[in-house]
């Protein structure tokens, strides 16, 4: 059996790494990994591939562009690969333009589609990610839901139970496995000269924040105020750097925050594990904060991970001003820990996905060579 996995952005690389490891343990399964090139900066791709031991079979070099132009180029390029490879399953991840293009290319060729991280909803169709995940869910033959909330969302939209599998979250698998590796191999805290628990880790990259001068200025003025009392570490996304330069505030940001080039996955895991608070607009970082027991402030109007708000680990800033950011981070510092819970499964999500694609069921025993983080001894 042949599975074509389609990725293009850093969070997808992490998810694919765990599923790839699990599929290596399933007999008669061959994976073809297709990288669209949606993220193409070496700091955004090469370091991730090296750390995660991923080797794409195809790199389509699509690059950036408007949503329509980028998605159209992806559709054309992915279709050619799928016609050459004739996979039994096409596997897409998350909610990017790569997700949309991969799902559409496959379904138009009559190839079965499986969607990992299905069922997330913000109920805001002004967000490109919302449109991407809606389309992928509704054309997919199997939707792998990470949480019970995601499963309920899919059912409420009329997707039949036969097309839904509740498997848990593969990013939790990755955090379990690579978290130990990061603690053993990474020394970024020493390089930054920051103490565990003393700093705020911030990431900003969503278009709603970077494309709005008012939101961009508010977020970074709030972070600059916080930096007067505690270090703020900022791995800076290329899009955000361009926006800060455009608004002529890059210099003042660099003078007050610990600004880094985009970091690899292991560096990021360690920064997350030992942060006092995380302020982010990244859905993946919100979850990873929870995995590591670190309070999180979401720099957005909403979050698809509503269970984290309910459990007290995440607070959303629906109207972002500098005062909001400053008060939100301070409140997170002072708040008691959230409720202990396991909404994202047991760390065996990737093994369940691999078994399902190979024709098994979620009730099948996991292959004995898989550990609880999805690591396969035969890989």
Chain mean pLDDT for the chain = 92
pLDDT digits (tens, 9 = 90+) for 249-279: 999 999 999 999 999 899 999 999 999 999 9
Residue 184 structure tokens: 């053993």
pLDDT in tens, 73-126: 999 999 999 999 999 999 999 999 999 999 999 999 999 999 999 999 999 888
Is pLDDT of 286 > 60?
Answer: yes
* pLDDT tens track for 135-183: 999 999 999 999 999 999 999 999 999 999 999 999 999 999 999 889 8
Whether 215 has a pLDDT exceeding 80, the answer reads yes
Strand-by-strand arrangement of the 200-203 sheet? 258-260, 232-235, 200-203, 277-280, 296-298, 314-316
- The helix/strand/coil state of 237 is coil
The angle subtended at Cα 70 by Cα 44 and Cα 220, nearest 5°, is 50
pLDDT of 379 > 50? The answer is no
pLDDT of residue 315: 96
In the block, residue with structure tokens 């329509």: 68
Higher-confidence position of 312 and 46: 312
The pLDDT assigned to 102 comes to 98
364 pLDDT more than 60: no
Q: How many residues can be counted in the chain?
A: 379
Residue 376 has pLDDT above 60, yes or no: no
State the pLDDT confidence band at 375, using cuts at 50, 70 and 90.
Answer: very low
Secondary structure of residue 296 in the 3-state scheme = strand
Residue given tokens 């290329």 in the structure block: 238
Q: Taking 70 as the threshold, does the pLDDT of residue 229 lie above it?
A: yes
Catalytic residue numbers, as ranges: 205
Residue 348 · residue 329 · CB < 8 Å: no
pLDDT band at 53 (very low <50, low <70, confident <90, very high): confident
* 19-28, 219-228, 323-332: range with lowest mean pLDDT: 19-28
Domains defined for the chain, CATH in brackets = 2-169+346-357 (3.40.50.2000), 177-334 (3.40.50.2000)
At residue 48, the pLDDT reads 79
At 200, is the secondary structure helix, strand, or coil? Answer: strand
* DSSP strand pairing (164-166 vs 142-145): parallel
pLDDT of 126 reads 85
The C-alpha atoms of residue 114 and residue 143 are separated, in whole angstroms, by 6
Question: What was the pLDDT predicted at 252?
Answer: 96
Query: What does pTM read for this prediction?
Result: 0.90
**Please, which pLDDT band fits residue 370 given cuts at 50, 70 and 90?**
very low
- In the numeric block, the tokens 């920051």 are attached to 194
Which tens digits make up the pLDDT trace of 241-251? 999 999 999 99
- Residue, of 49 and 266, whose pLDDT is higher: 266
pLDDT greater than 70 at residue 332? yes
Query: What is the model's pLDDT at position 141?
Result: 98
């Amino acid at each position: 059996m042949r599975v074509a996995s389609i990725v293009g952005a850093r969070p997808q690389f992490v998810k694919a790494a765990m599923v790839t490891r699990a599929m290596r343990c399933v007999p008669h399964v061959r994976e073809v990994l297709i990288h669209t090139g949606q993220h193409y900066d070496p700091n955004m791709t090469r370091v991730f591939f090296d750390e995660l031991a991923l080797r794409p079979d195809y790199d389509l070099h699509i690059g950036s562009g408007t949503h329509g132009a980028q998605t159209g180029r992806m559709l054309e390029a992915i279709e050619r690969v799928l016609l050459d490879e004739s996979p039994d399953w096409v596997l897409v991840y998350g909610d990017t333009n790569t997700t949309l293009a991969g799902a559409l290319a496959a379904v138009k060729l009559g190839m079965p589609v499986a969607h990992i991280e299905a069922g997330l909803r913000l109920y805001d169709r002004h967000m490109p990610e919302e449109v991407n995940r809606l389309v992928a869910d509704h054309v997919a033959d199997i939707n792998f839901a990470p949480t019970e909330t995601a499963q309920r969302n899919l059912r409420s939209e009329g997707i039949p139970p036969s097309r839904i599998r509740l498997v848990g979250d593969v990013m939790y698998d990755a955090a379990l496995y690579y978290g130990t590796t990061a603690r053993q191999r990474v020394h970024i805290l020493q390089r930054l000269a920051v103490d565990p628990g003393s700093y705020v880790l911030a990431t900003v990259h969503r278009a709603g924040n970077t494309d709005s001068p008012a939101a961009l200025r508010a977020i970074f003025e709030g972070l600059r105020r916080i930096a007067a009392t505690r270090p703020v570490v900022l791995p800076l996304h290329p899009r955000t750097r361009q926006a800060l330069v455009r608004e002529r505030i890059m210099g003042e940001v660099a003078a007050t925050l610990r600004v880094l080039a985009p970091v690899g996955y292991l560096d990021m895991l360690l920064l997350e594990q030992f942060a006092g608070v995380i302020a982010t607009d990244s859905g993946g970082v919100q979850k990873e904060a929870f995995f590591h027991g670190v309070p999180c402030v979401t720099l957005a109007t909403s979050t698809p991970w509503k269970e984290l708000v309910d459990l007290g680990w995440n607070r959303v800033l629906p109207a972002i001003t500098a005062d909001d950011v400053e008060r939100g981070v301070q409140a997170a510092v002072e708040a008691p820990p959230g409720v202990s819970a396991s909404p994202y499964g047991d760390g065996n999500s990737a093994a369940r996905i691999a078994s399902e694609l190979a024709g098994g069921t979620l009730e099948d025993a996991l292959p004995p060579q898989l550990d609880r983080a999805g690591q396969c001894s035969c890989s």
